[in-house]
Amino acid sequence: MNIIIIEDEPLTAKDLKTILTAIDQDINVLAILSSVAASIKWLRDHTTPDLIFSDIQLGDGLSFEIFKEVAITAPIIFCTAFDEYAINAFESNSIDYLLKPIEEDRVQKSLQKYRLIKQHYNGGSYEGNLQKAISQITHTYKQSILVYYREKIIPVKTNDICLVHATNGLVTLYALYDQHYVTQYTIDQLETMLDPAHFFRANRQFMVNRNVVQNIEHYFNRRLVVHTHCSSPEKIIISRLKAQDFLRWIEQ
């Protein structure tokens, strides 16, 4: 794994390099860069590394300026003595945010996070999938969905939604206590609004809340049928292509 370190404190940079190579002998620190200007030049002149560890406050500015000037696809782990930049960090390809003094166990956890993200999204375009992963880490999901019901606007708590069902151009939220509401959102829109830790897109018609899954049954052609505690308008079928992803998701 090729890594660069952006850090203007020589001792801190040396310690981080020592920690990284102690954790994994296959890590190759390509460069230690001490300024915004030097980092911009290096990134323009070299192939993007696999991962970047970066301080935030450098002698000639904030490291965020680097990533505004140079388009990179590598994820970044920011290391800083200040926590005030956390939001800005996650807008710059960041997958983690370490507070100084940097400890080996925290660096190891950050590397594990990087490897898990890379492993989970190892199909298709890595850069595109990385952005998807970062978006999932930092995205704020809806706590309620507004629906219009008998001339009233009702907030339906996402925790109370059992199923989302799309059919014949209508999308219906099936909620607790046998309540169901037609929503103006499409199922694709709801997929971006509902936390994927709690809702799984079973197929074109259904999203299901993990809390209502009662049991799972094998079906034809290595598909699965999901049985839920709440009533469903039709069978919830998981395709064979999504079956393993669903089983891994339900075990999380």
pLDDT score at 89: 45
pLDDT score at 128: 53
pLDDT score at 213: 96
The residues spanned by each domain of the chain are 2-138, 144-251
Cα dihedral 210→211→217→222 (10° resolution): 0
- The tens digit of pLDDT for each residue in 7-46 reads 999 999 999 999 999 988 889 999 999 999 999 999 999 9
pLDDT score at 43: 93
Taking 80 as the threshold, does the pLDDT of residue 231 lie above it? yes
Task: Return the number of other C-beta atoms located less than 10 Å from residue 59's C-beta.
Answer: 10
Taking 90 as the threshold, does the pLDDT of residue 192 lie above it? no
**CA dist 102 to 22, 78, 119, 176, Å?**
14, 11, 25, 46
d(CA 26, CA 14): 17
Give the CA count within 13 Å in the CB-facing half-sphere of 116.
11
> How much is the mean pLDDT over the chain?
85
Taking 50 as the threshold, does the pLDDT of residue 87 lie above it? no
CATH code: domain 144-251 is 2.40.50.1020
pTM of the model: 0.49
Instruction: Give the H or E element holding residue 227.
Output: strand 224-228
Average pLDDT over residues 215-232: 93
SS3 labels along 159-173 = HHEEEEEEECCEEEE
**176 Cβ contact partners less than 8 Å away, ≥ 6 residues apart:** 160, 162, 230
pLDDT score at 185: 92
With bands split at pLDDT 50, 70 and 90, how would you rate the model's confidence at 224? very high
- The tens digit of pLDDT for each residue in 136-164 reads 544 568 889 999 888 889 999 999 999 99
Whether residue 31 contacts residue 4, with contact meaning beta carbons closer than 8 Å, is answered with: yes
On the question of a common fold for 2-138 and 144-251, the answer reads no
- The tens digit of pLDDT for each residue in 53-85 reads 999 888 888 888 898 888 887 888 988 776 554
Task: Return the number of other C-beta atoms located less than 10 Å from residue 180's C-beta.
Answer: 18
Sign of the dihedral through C-alpha 201, 203, 207, 213: negative
Give the CATH number of domain 2-138; options: 3.40.50.2300, 3.30.450.20, 1.10.3720.10, 3.40.50.300: 3.40.50.2300
- The tens digit of pLDDT for each residue in 163-188 reads 999 999 999 999 998 899 999 999 99
d(CA 57, CA 6): 10
